[in-house]
Amino acid sequence: MRLPRPKSSGIVLIEVLIILLVLMLLVVLMLPYLAGGGPAKGAQCRSNQQQITVGFILWDSDNAGKFPWQVSETNQGAMEASARGDVVAGYKTLQGYLQWPPVFVCPTDPSRTAATNFSSLGNQNLSYFINFDGVARATNAFAGIMTGDRHLSADGTPVKPGLFTYSTNMVMGWTTELHSLAATPMGVLSFYDGHCEAVNNTNINAALQRQRLASSRFAVP
């Protein structure tokens, strides 16, 4: 009587190798997301700015067609602080419209942390600049920039925090501080009509010039 032959382990080994290959493929596909700069986080950055823009549009609607930087602090606006380049004051006016302070931080911004409440909000909790001059009643809101990623550069030099005045003779661009895994330096802009655009160094100047303004004041955190 023959004893049954032991089963070969060849099939099991092949199965293990296939599983390992599949896992390796998944890791490769997920690397951009695990590294913190993948498409999903870029989309979240656009979503954040869109929520902020809608908040400002609602504020405008509740305040006789004026934005916080057009209303005095005595009337719960941020005009005086904005004139000094204080971007925090502008964002704090949204407390009644946005309930989640982490919306002010881009997921690909490594040096900023989310605030837990509006009272503690500071530059360290903000990833986005505000453009105070992006719209007037006579201009097209589709072209007027409201907010944008803070990692701007002007004539090849990173823009510092504070009040920055853009003029049309400047060559604007992005540094690689945010969205570092993008193929080329890029950033996100939001507009006064509520839409957002991801733009790279090739088309950021065209986006700024669409406003048809000789200059614009940006409060950069």
d(CA 70, CA 29): 47
Identify the three-state secondary structure at position 198: strand
Per residue in 164-193, pLDDT tens?
999 999 999 999 999 988 889 999 999 999
Highest mean pLDDT among 15-19, 34-38, 128-132: 128-132
pLDDT on residue 35: 39
pLDDT on residue 192: 92
**Angle subtended by helix axes 10-34 and 39-62, to nearest 10:** 30
Q: Where are the domains of the chain?
A: 37-220
33 pLDDT higher than 60: no
pLDDT grade for 77, boundaries at 50, 70 and 90:
very high
| pTM of the predicted protein model | 0.81
d(CA 141, CA 153): 24
152 or 141, greater pLDDT? 152
pLDDT on residue 182: 87
pLDDT grade for 36, boundaries at 50, 70 and 90:
very low
